[in-house]
Amino acid sequence: MPVTARLVEGEEREEIWRQLVDLYSGYQTYSDRSSRDLRVFHLQPTAPER
């Protein structure tokens, strides 16, 4: 499926991050162990090229 990716930042990222961690706490564990913030992307479906 073709998609366009957009890096999510700021308050939007924090909200999505909380939702991701609610689904799977391992994301936060991994982020803590790596000592960095993991990037979050929004994937928007796009029409296939012809």
Q: What is the pTM of this model?
A: 0.79
Task: Give the per-residue pLDDT at 7.
Answer: 98
Task: Give the per-residue pLDDT at 44.
Answer: 97
Task: Give the per-residue pLDDT at 14.
Answer: 97
Task: Give the per-residue pLDDT at 23.
Answer: 97
Counting as low any pLDDT under 70, the low residues of the chain are none
Task: Give the per-residue pLDDT at 37.
Answer: 87
Domain boundaries, the chain: 3-45
- Tokens coding 14: 């924090």
Ramachandran sector of residue 19 (left: φ over 0; alpha: ψ -120 to 50; beta: rest): alpha
- Contact (CB, 8 A) for 7 and 37: no
Task: Give the per-residue pLDDT at 22.
Answer: 98
How far apart CA 2 and CA 32 sit, in angstroms, is 32
Task: Give the per-residue pLDDT at 17.
Answer: 97
